A and B are shown apart, each in its own frame.
Chain A
């Protein structure tokens, strides 16, 4: 079974631009979560989608948004990029509503100049 895939793998943007990252979950998984990983803050939860609905949201500004499509693929968007948004963005998918194990993709490395 194919794992979680994320595109693009690497991205360089400048301050003020916006970016869209994509995540395809494991086949059959309907829950997709997004995390930001930085050396200083570690892994922090951004938001989670299940069946096209946002179930949870972390403590990030409104510049960070996401959505999920009917095929469970998900996108996250960051508008008005700041230098501090440079990070590894990770997507994870899971299959059940409760006690679900989240399987991570390889991540998208975003560098904001």
Chain B
């Protein structure tokens, strides 16, 4: 059965304290892996798409990497505005997105 697991469930960081979020997956027929950011009461906001192992993408303080079995989202020197739930999703052969449960990040000033 296809599965997407994110860890940790929650992460509390001090401003400037870098950390990583993990997304591991066991799926057949992966077309792509997506990272989204979701603020409370809002829809997910697209961050990155990764297609093949070894690929990396960066945007401001965020960097996403992909291996054959997992992806990492690195947050470098986070600020309070980086507080959000980060969702990982895999796109399967039938184009559906299968989401992980998310990691809720809280950054304290």
- A positions within 8 Å CB-CB of B: 4, 33, 35, 42-45, 48, 55-56, 58, 90, 92, 97-107, 109
Contacts and interface: CB of A to CB of B under 8 A. Distances in A.
Given A43-B87, A101-B49, A106-B43, A56 B97 contact: no
Interface residues of B, number: 24
B96 A104 contact: no
Minimum-distance CB pairs A-B, first 8: A104-B43, A43-B99, A104-B44, A42-B101, A106-B43, A107-B43, A45-B96, A105-B43
Contacts of A42: 99-102
Contacts, number: 58
A4 B43 CA distance: 10
B22 interface: no
Interface of B: 31-32, 34, 36, 41-46, 49, 51, 87, 89, 91, 94-102
Contacts of A56: 94-96
A3 to B, nearest CB: 9
Given A43-B97, A45-B97, 4 more contacts: A45-B98, A48-B96, A56-B95, A98-B95
B64 to A, nearest CB: 13
B4 to A, nearest CB: 10
Contacts of B87: 43
A101 B34 contact: yes
A100 B46 contact: no
